[in-house]
Structure 1
Amino acid sequence: MKVNNNLQQFKRSSLALCVAGVLMGASTPVLAEESQATDNIEVIEVKGMRRSLEQSLNTKRFANSIVDAITAEDIGKFPDKNVGDALQRISGVTVDRQYGEVSGVTIRGTAPEQSRILLNGQSVANTSWYDLGPATRTFNMELLGAEQISSVEVYKTPEASIEEGALGGTVNLQTRKPLDLDANTFMISAEVARSSLYEENDPGGAFLGSWKDEDERFGILAAYSLEKLTSGRQVLESLSGYYPYFAENEATGEDAAVGAWGIGSQAFRAERERTSAQVTLQFMPTDNLELTLDYFNFEFDNPHVNHNFLTVSARGSEATNVVNNAQGGTESATIQPAYASIIYNPVVRHAVNMKADVLNLTGKYTGDSYTLSGVVGQSTSEGGTQGGSSSWWIPATDEGGKIGDPAFPDGQGSVDGGFSYDATGPYQVELTSLDATDASQFKHAQEANYETSVQEHDIAYAQFDAVFELDNDYIDNIASGIKYNSSDFSRQAYNRNPSEILGFVPDGNLSNWTGGVLNDLHSQSPGNTLNSYAYLDENKWWDFISEKYQNGELEEVVNQGNTFSVDEKMLALYAQVDFSGDDYRGNFGVRYVTTEQKSTGFADGKVFEESIDYDNWLPSLNIAYNLTDDLIVRGAASQVMARNNYSDLKPGLNIAANIGSANGGNPDLQPYKSNQADLGIEWYFSSSSLLSSAIFVKEIDNVVFNTESVEFVEKCGPTEADWSECRVTRPRNGGTGSVQGIEFQLQHSWDSGFGVLSNYTYVDSETTRPDGEKEMVPGVSENSFNGSVFFENDYITTRIAYNWRTEWVGVGATQAVLNDAYSQWDASITWHAMENLNLTLEGVNLTNEVIQSQDTEFDLTQNTIEFGSRYYLSASYQF
């Protein structure tokens, strides 16, 4: 077994043995014997952050594959506020932030959805609350608090025994077990959280209790955490794609105006609430048999309002004072007023949530020279955004009482609504007639609705593994196993027809519905930004809208184009050999997996169903060679695969019959495949110190791109003769990708209590479309750096952390959008007030950095996103 492999390494260095005995608490009989054999060596117990870092290095050092680890200092004392924030400290890892918190991770130059997140080695069902995003396979990190996590392992190279599906890497989240803790271990904490954007004080807390009997045969662990935060983001944004919204005016000499449909001043405010519960029962009826039953429940509620004040260039009557740049994009212009050329668009969503639960039974039997283990479990998830309101408020002087007013068959006009703008940096907008802070100058014109989505995901799995130890000079053990995995994902989408519900608002002037004026928005974007405007009282409006739903005045109909399901049945077999010699160790193996996939959707109002199956052979090799006791060279080679996003697999088409085009998903997509190799060197120059470097390459096939082709599609075209010339846009395989990169890592702790952790990663990552055009991989930066400095003694533990990344392509953008380089400072200080009492102050994004993005085609501003700073004051007591 691998632990014996590790012990062979321990025997080579009495210092390593001493440290390992302390860090691992002599948790196995073999380690206890080794510890007794070295009684003449002074053992210095290390606690706190330094202990955590040494445990993490110990995991990395003695792993057969290329692994990085993060270990909690103690119960409820994870190094960062959430797991996603902690993962960005690992070399080769960058994170994706959508609403301030980390929602996904990018590992070694691959997109976030191509990383796997496992809980105790198993998949967790996943949905999303965001109604406009694609349905991916990425576990949403927003669901997960850090209080119950004991360690995180990031496998950058695969082993045959680990579940398949990752191009970049596999993140395994480990939770605690009662028999590993002292009897009657309890931890309780309370906190207050605050965001600089909205300055609300929100409570939170956590509890963990663990008990076991005197014989240490049976134990129970229960944990619960609650975290609230009023936060969000403020954005100066463009809406829709960039295009010529006004042609060149030969009469006036004005150039064509080219840019976004509109510009928005967005204030997104959410009352986030995250809860996490765990119950673990552990039973060892004999020394050989161990049974563990885990139940986890994660819930995330995100009721929110998105205020957005829109200046809509494309709805203006004309553009004057047009100044274009060398790429033809309009840097600045004055837009003359027209009907609804200014729109205040508040979106109120109070039924927004996602949740997941996991029920997992694990059994392990250890014989004289073998270990048998099995797992059966299931995970379910529900999420989405139901109901809500998206209303349009326009200048009160605009003609007509509502959009599409039948009293104005020849169109409507306006005397207000003019503005000028500048798109060379964060959007600068100056209104030429309207006072945005005066609610009486606006009236209700339309009640629309974004898409309502209801997502469900069910996973069931069964796994059996057998490990046979060999009395052999070269082979330590042979492992084999089988795993069955069933995954059923569905998304129901609904739309509301605005034409049925126009003009239904009494007292439609905004002054009757306002909650006041939003002030001091976009504090990190100086100039003539739209930083103040009257806003809708969301609670008063939600009561009104809810009554409309209850009375049946607001009806939703199925949006068949975005309603689909993907059901998969996966069977995996593997064989793996762990080997070692005097100066080397490693493993090699192969994993075979077959997938049966059925996709169901709609085409032309009819149910459309398609099934495919495919299989993959996934060999892997990992080897570590000890040049000296403290210097290790590692190498790895493997073939991996990653399945496609659920949204890309949906069948059916949305058909625009009048223009002969259609778009949809593609259930025939094959999974991504990659051949990859790694080579690294690691110098452990003390028990808590590491200097390492690694290079890695990946060659990726079956890359998916949205492309257009001519197909025969029934009813696609004005006449039957046109059906064979339908222009169909859908995701297709055919692209390739390549990744080359290098990582550097430095970690060191001094006896004085100071320590430093740092890493740098360079990644050259690109994909090649079927037409030969090369593109950056979304979400991937070429350069990234993370560094932190800490100090601890008996009284305080403090840390300052910094992370930086260079530009990257935005994920999910409507056009090619490039985000500028981004950096962030975080810090924390803990006062050890008593032996078991800690008081902590933590700050995230201390300098309130913004994400700035550009449109690549016309070199114009896309978004300026400000998340604000977050602060947490907490007290924890362990007994």
Structure 2
Amino acid sequence: MLNQKIGICALAVKAALLTSGLGVTSVAFAAEDVNAEQDVEVIQIRGIRASQQANLNAKRYSDAVVDVVTAEDIGKFPDRNVAESLSRITGVGVSREFGEGEKITVRGASSATNRTLLNGQTVATADWFILDNPGRSFNYTMLPSALVSDLEVYKSPMASIDEGSIGGTVVLRTRKPLDLDANSVNISMEGQYSEMSGKWDPQLSGLYSWKNEHDTLGILVSAIKQDRTVVREGFEILGWPKNPGLDARLPSHIGVPRFEQQRERETLFASFQYAPSANFEMTVNALHSKVDANNQNANWLIFVNNDAALLGNTTKVDNSIVAGSVAAGGTAAYNFINRVASTETKGIDFDFTYRADNYELHGQFGTTRAKGGTLRETSWEYVATTGYNFDLRGSTPSASTEVNAADPAQFRAGWIWGGEKPTTDEENYGQLDLSLPVDYGVFKQIKTGVKLRAAERTQGRTAYSWHGPNTLADANLAPDWPVYLQYIFDTCPTLAQCNLTTGSQNINAAVNGNLGQQVIHNRDRMEEIAFVGLNGVKADYAKSLILAENWAVEEDITALYVQGDFEGEGFRGNLGVRYVDTRQTSGGYEFSDDSWGFLTIDREWLRPAELAWVEVKNSYKEVLPSFNIAFDLTDDSLLRFGAARVMARQNWNDISTAISYGSLNVAQPTGTASNPMLKPQIVDQFDLSYEWYFNPSSIFAATYFMKDVKSYRSFSTFVDQRYWEQEQKMVDVTFTRPSNGPGGRTQGMELSYQQAFGDFGVMANYTYTDAKRDEERDLTKPGSGLVEGTSRHMYNLSGYYETDLFSVRLMYNYRTEWYKGLHFNGDELWNDGYGQVDASISYNLTDSIILSFEAVNLTNERVTEYNTDPARLFSIYENGRRFVAGIRMAF
């Protein structure tokens, strides 16, 4: 009787859950136990309660600790991409630096140590933001939630699932045409209003699915276009170096930035499915997603650490100067940065399954490629000498200058620099999986397989020098202008000349004082002068590779596994082992110091006397056992236990040959260096879970998890010199380099509750995480003793009301502070606690047409970051509220 119930539930959610070797295996087994001649009603998954029931069915009958969100539930969330949908799951945290979910943490494991798979495979990704270094994190801005049919978060691994995660593996599944009705059409037309920009942006998506009358051939095509005008205003401190003269930590820069971006996301997806018989099925999926992410940033800055000798009226908190003033002679500057940026992902995947009487063979082959980054950047700096004061205490800091920052005539020419930072990511993969039914004691099925992956990650870095030789070759000009940079600044000596500004604005979102009263820079004019010309004089600049920041890493992986699925009276599970062989080759330039690390590629200028491309090889082998078992305590409750060894490979940038550094016009400049010989993180983990399903759409669950981490990433520092072009001299730079350090332990508890009360329902979950490292905390050693991505407390609370015509949902998501890793200047970076309220309302105009309204970040929460001590503020960013109104049609 129990098996019959299980089979009925499995069939009920079949439309929403795509079972496979990575899917809900116990559902598939249970479904086979149902009498083939029995009439079973297949329930259409629709509405909040129905989708929640589908989620719980998948969770209940899985062999591992898994959380599931189905397509209908994703549609009910006010989420623009999958990361925001994931934030509703117990133990999952999401970063929202630009107001939209981008990267996730799972059970205290940082975004770089969790894998995201699309239909079981890697999705190549290339970050668009110039300050992002190539890592293992998946950037969810590439993946609209409308593309996904359902998602699963595997918190306890199985041998048949790809390795690479120590927190959890996210498996996203796209829709298949044979699972939908013939000639299915889904159309969504929405408008999104962003409070910070004051603009409405279109959000359009469409899906068409066809199949023949025999259900043997199907084609699905989906297109999504989502535009967003991003505006983020804030308050920034760009570093907290220890000033030797004052024997205290001091802000390096204090600024009030305004970030603007025209984000245009276009995604195309096509699926071809062919199933000529019950024994054979094949699917070909093709994905193309592109985000045009051109952006600009304006920042009005005071250089506090540079002016340390002039500081007076200082206030110290925990030996950090958080307030002070400079009477006169202080340094201030406008920094205007214009970037052409994008990220693009392409992939094609071929998947087949052949089912014989005594075995099942599955194969999957494909390729995924991404390119993007900052393809062109120019940074303009105009400077002023001024007195100023600042006070970083309280929820809203203050800063003011004597000079009127809204008057462009007050700012004289300083410097112009720029460049490119393109990145690529690609992987070719192939796997074969064999499943054999057996009758060997409790074991009912044996799975085994092999997978090959060949990946390459690259980064390029080019500097533009408008002061390079022969950048002003116009014979009609006087020789007083030897280079184009000097010509620009002689022609445009202040911001008031050359139409460099278009008025003034007030940026008061996160700061008191007049530092928020600024000019508006004219991006188009600056781009024209930098890259086209000025007053008929053609623009020119030298292009030079920054040799230490150009690198490539190749990675070849061979994985073998065997897994036994077992089942008995009142229990089920799996036991397996995965063997992984990883071989890495990190390549980069080795060069002499006579050209200061530059190689000019468009003219004769800088070239090191010694230059060679060198490669460093690293390899390691790991054996990763896993065990999962679920006991049926009663008809509606069960107990799970899981144990496994897992691994996470180090970030691409960390295992490259890269060495990079920040601005050299500051006291005590800093940089980062990589380490190609890093080994992976290895973790032994354990899970114990109790789940009580006290009605079809209700659950109470409690899970204890423990992770014994063998090694965390640590850091060391060294000092080396770099060439400062503006002053034409070498300066000392302090670099931070990663290494394999001591391990530690993470343990915690997850609590989940969900219940429907007539037309009302509530969903709540809470996660407690305690992460400790064996390494001693040393405040002079950045990152020591800290675990990235871990919030001690996280919780979600959601309530809904739903009838046949109308539904409304209100959601709150919160996590306490977490350590984010090292800032680009080498300081420890923390994110303060963050909570967000979202809401959605929908009205069923007809059976096929739904009107919807969604609100994101209703309480206008700010993103606040600090440097270890909350008194050392790093940034306050305000992204504002967003509202989405639209119509969805399904035929």
Would the TM-score normalized by the shorter structure come out above 0.5?
Answer: yes
Distance 1:298 1:652, change over 3 A: closer
Residue 187 of structure 1 corresponds to: 186
Residue 648 of structure 1 corresponds to: 654
Residue 728 of structure 2 corresponds to: none
Residue 799 of structure 1 corresponds to: 809
Q: Equivalent residues in 2 for 1:34-113 (5 A)? A: 34=34, 47-73=46-72, 80-113=79-112
Answering whether residue 717 of structure 2 is matched by residue 749 of structure 1, we say no
Cα deviation, 1:266-286, whole Å, max 9, x if unaligned, reads 110111111111110000122
Answering whether residue 621 of structure 2 is matched by residue 615 of structure 1, we say yes
Answering whether residue 772 of structure 2 is matched by residue 787 of structure 1, we say no
**Rounded Cα–Cα distance in structure 2 between residues aligned with 1:827 and 1:140:** 24
Cα deviation, 1:255-308, whole Å, max 9, x if unaligned, reads x67411110101101111111111100001222110111001111111111011
Q: Equivalent residues in 2 for 1:520-599 (5 A)? A: 520-523=506-509, 525=510, 527-528=512-513, 530-548=515-533, 551=538, 553-599=540-586
SS at match of 2:58: helix
Answering whether residue 747 of structure 2 is matched by residue 740 of structure 1, we say yes
Distance 1:730 1:515, change over 3 A: closer
Cα deviation, 1:682-716, whole Å, max 9, x if unaligned, reads 00001111100000111112322121489xx9999
Distance 1:38 1:329, change over 3 A: same
CA shift, 1:771, in A, is 8.2
Answering whether residue 816 of structure 2 is matched by residue 809 of structure 1, we say no
Distance 1:17 1:359, change over 3 A: closer
Distance 1:75 1:851, change over 3 A: closer
Distance 1:35 1:52, change over 3 A: farther
Q: Which amino acid aligns with 1:303?
A: N
SS at match of 1:85: helix
CA shift, 1:18, in A, is 4.9
Q: Which amino acid aligns with 2:485?
A: L
Q: Equivalent residues in 2 for 1:620-699 (5 A)? A: 620-651=626-657, 664-699=673-708
**Rounded Cα–Cα distance in structure 2 between residues aligned with 1:769 and 1:203:** 50
Cα deviation, 1:358-386, whole Å, max 9, x if unaligned, reads 10001100111321010110000101102
Conservation of the 8 A alpha-carbon contact between 1:428 and 1:530: no
TM-score, scaled to structure 2: 0.87
Conservation of the 8 A alpha-carbon contact between 1:709 and 1:729: yes
Conservation of the 8 A alpha-carbon contact between 2:798 and 2:810: yes
Q: Which amino acid aligns with 1:684?
A: Y
Residue 601 of structure 2 corresponds to: none
Cα deviation, 1:724-782, whole Å, max 9, x if unaligned, reads xx9985321132121011000001123x2211111000000133338888623122110
Answering whether residue 873 of structure 2 is matched by residue 861 of structure 1, we say yes
CA shift, 1:835, in A, is 1.5
Residue 394 of structure 2 corresponds to: 425
Residue 410 of structure 1 corresponds to: none
Conservation of the 8 A alpha-carbon contact between 1:375 and 1:462: yes
CA shift, 1:102, in A, is 1.4
Give the one of 438, 449, 468 matched to 2:436.
Answer: 468
SS at match of 2:676: coil
**Rounded Cα–Cα distance in structure 2 between residues aligned with 1:172 and 1:317:** 52
TM-score, scaled to structure 1: 0.88
Cα deviation, 1:86-129, whole Å, max 9, x if unaligned, reads 11111111112221111111001111100000000001112111
**Rounded Cα–Cα distance in structure 2 between residues aligned with 1:66 and 1:863:** 37
Residue 421 of structure 2 corresponds to: 453
Residue 411 of structure 1 corresponds to: none
Residue 502 of structure 1 corresponds to: 485
Deviates more, 1:726-735 or 1:596-605: 726-735
**Rounded Cα–Cα distance in structure 1 between residues aligned with 2:112 and 2:496:** 45
Conservation of the 8 A alpha-carbon contact between 2:156 and 2:168: yes
Give the aligned length: 821
Q: Which amino acid aligns with 1:783?
A: H
Answering whether residue 368 of structure 2 is matched by residue 379 of structure 1, we say yes
Q: Which amino acid aligns with 1:331?
A: V
**Rounded Cα–Cα distance in structure 1 between residues aligned with 2:181 and 2:527:** 50
Q: Which amino acid aligns with 1:55?
A: A
Q: Which amino acid aligns with 1:503?
A: Q
CA shift, 1:17, in A, is 5.3
**Rounded Cα–Cα distance in structure 1 between residues aligned with 2:862 and 2:364:** 45
Conservation of the 8 A alpha-carbon contact between 2:316 and 2:323: no
Residue 706 of structure 1 corresponds to: 715
SS at match of 2:532: helix
Q: Which amino acid aligns with 1:593?
A: V
Q: Equivalent residues in 2 for 1:155-174 (5 A)? A: 155-174=154-173
Deviates more, 1:549-558 or 1:67-76: 549-558
Cα deviation, 1:475-520, whole Å, max 9, x if unaligned, reads 1100000000000111111122364353332334323435544544
Q: Which amino acid aligns with 2:154?
A: Y
SS at match of 1:447: strand
**Rounded Cα–Cα distance in structure 2 between residues aligned with 1:548 and 1:426:** 45
**Rounded Cα–Cα distance in structure 2 between residues aligned with 1:97 and 1:456:** 24
Give the one of 344, 348, 357 matched to 2:346.
Answer: 357
Deviates more, 1:421-430 or 1:570-579: 421-430
Deviates more, 1:20-29 or 1:363-372: 20-29
**Rounded Cα–Cα distance in structure 1 between residues aligned with 2:511 and 2:270:** 50
**Rounded Cα–Cα distance in structure 2 between residues aligned with 1:517 and 1:164:** 54
**Rounded Cα–Cα distance in structure 2 between residues aligned with 1:26 and 1:623:** 25
**Rounded Cα–Cα distance in structure 2 between residues aligned with 1:874 and 1:232:** 22
**Rounded Cα–Cα distance in structure 2 between residues aligned with 1:870 and 1:728:** 40
**Rounded Cα–Cα distance in structure 1 between residues aligned with 2:276 and 2:742:** 55
Cα deviation, 1:414-441, whole Å, max 9, x if unaligned, reads 4xx1111001135644434212222232
Conservation of the 8 A alpha-carbon contact between 2:237 and 2:253: yes
**Rounded Cα–Cα distance in structure 2 between residues aligned with 1:56 and 1:788:** 16
Conservation of the 8 A alpha-carbon contact between 1:231 and 1:270: yes
Give the one of 381, 386, 389 matched to 2:378.
Answer: 389
Conservation of the 8 A alpha-carbon contact between 2:251 and 2:321: no
Conservation of the 8 A alpha-carbon contact between 1:77 and 1:147: no
**Rounded Cα–Cα distance in structure 2 between residues aligned with 1:29 and 1:762:** 34
**Rounded Cα–Cα distance in structure 2 between residues aligned with 1:551 and 1:208:** 48
Residue 727 of structure 2 corresponds to: none
**Rounded Cα–Cα distance in structure 2 between residues aligned with 1:320 and 1:609:** 48
**Rounded Cα–Cα distance in structure 2 between residues aligned with 1:635 and 1:578:** 15
Conservation of the 8 A alpha-carbon contact between 1:760 and 1:786: yes
**Rounded Cα–Cα distance in structure 2 between residues aligned with 1:715 and 1:384:** 25
Answering whether residue 314 of structure 2 is matched by residue 302 of structure 1, we say no
SS at match of 1:648: coil
Distance 1:663 1:856, change over 3 A: closer
Give the one of 405, 411, 425 matched to 1:442.
Answer: 411
Q: Tell me the C-alpha RMSD between the 2 structures.
A: 3.0
